Every structure is written in structure tokens, then in C-alpha cells.
Amino acid sequence: MKKRLFFVLTFLIIFVSLFSIGSSADISDITSPIENAQEQFEDIPKTPADIKAEYLKQEWNKIILNNKYIGPIHKFFLDNSLPFNIVFNEQYSFSLIFILTLVFWFLTLRLVYSPSNKAFNTGLSWTLAIGIPIIFAHLFIYKIIIEKILYFVYSQETLWARTIVWFITVISIIVIIIIDEILSKKIEQNKKAKEKDRIETEVKEVKTFMSSLKEYLKIIKK
């Protein structure tokens, strides 16, 4: 569990750092053109959160495309985004929304697979672990959560309110991890208990059979 907590805290630090970069980014050079074009294009970002997310997306895309190693792979995924649309219900892009969708998707996979692997066979466990995140993605559950997070982070809320939310988030994740550990151990114990009962039943059946066999041999000898 210590490894999980370390992973979660590391992720949260990186997560907060990303938003801090986005919050401190100077978007004055792209705000005016966007405001002027809003009447012509409905898909142009309108809120501060959308504008900053779009700005970060553009800057990251520039950096990645200029990389001679990662650039071609990134471009290939941009041109062939259908698998990402099917699995994550998101167009491939190096954006906060896409990255957070991946995080929530794989987090759901992990939370589903851990207990199901102890309750069911491997095939069914993987089917549930992959199927449930895909269903959540196509029900826009991740998208709604991410949009709410981005709106809150980039809105003009007071610092204490954000601090409270981050504190509650950390506590909630820790509680989820603890519950997951407890459930996993409980399922494992039940599985071992059932296996023990099965072995004891088989041993009794073997003993009964051997006892009957001895009686039968005694009768034959007579």
C-alpha cells in the first residue's frame, strides 16, 4: 500500500504542477483573436479554462512535433486517431483533457481488475477491467469530471477553497486505496477458505473410498 500512496502523491504533485504551468501561462496573445472569432466558429474556446487548455495543447504539440524521435509517432497518432476514439472516446492529442482521460481510464481499469481477478478467472477479469472504463468513457463520465476539474482550477476561486478540494481529493484517494486493499484481502481470504473446504471435502471422500475399499477387500478375502 505504501507504493500505491507514493504513486498517488507523485501523480498529484505532477498534476498540480501542470495546472500551475497552465495558470501562469501568458495567453494574452491568443485571447483577442479567439474573442474576435467566436461569432464565426462555435468550437473556439470561450472560457478561461478552455483557452488555457488550448494554449497548452498548442505549445506541447509544437514541442513534440519538432522532436525527431517522438514527432513522427505523434503525427501518426494524430492522423490515425480512430482506436483512441473507440477506446477512450477522445481524439488523440497532447492535451490536458486527453492525458487526464488516460489517467482516469487506467485508474478505473486498475480498481476493477484488482478485486475481480481474485473473484473471477483471468479472462473475465480483463474483460470487466477493460470494458467498464470503455463504457464510462462513452457515457462521458470522465469528460464531465475533467471539465469540472478544469473549470474549478482555472476559475477565480479563492485559494482556501482550492486547498480544501485538494485535501479532500487526497484523503478520498487514500480511502479508496485502503478500501481496495481491504476488499482484495477479504476476497483472497474467502477464496483460500473455499479452496481449503474443497480440499478437506476431497480428502474426506478419498478416506471414505479407501475405507470402503478396505472393507470390500476384507469381504473378498473371506
Summarize pLDDT for 57-78 with one digit per residue, the tens: 777 777 777 888 888 888 898 8
pLDDT bin (cut points 50, 70, 90) of residue 89 is very high
State the sign of the Cα–Cα–Cα–Cα dihedral 50, 51, 54, 55. Answer: negative
Q: What is the pTM of this model?
A: 0.54
Specify if 66 maps to a domain. Answer: yes
pLDDT digits (tens, 9 = 90+) for 187-199: 888 888 888 888 8
Residue 216 lies in a domain: no
Whether 185 is covered by a domain: the verdict is no
Give the residue numbers spanning the domain of 9.
Answer: 2-156
Residue with the three cell numbers 485508474: 107
Is residue 141 domain-resident? Answer: yes
User: Residue 112: inside a domain, yes or no?
Assistant: yes
Residue 182: inside a domain, yes or no? Answer: no
Q: Which residue has the cell 475533467?
A: 146
| Cα distances (Å, whole numbers) of residue 151 to 38, 42, 122, 173 | 19, 19, 39, 21
In a domain, 171, yes or no: no
CA dihedral 19, 43, 134, 49 (to 10 degrees): 20
Q: Does any domain span residue 131?
A: yes
- Provide the domain count of the chain: 1
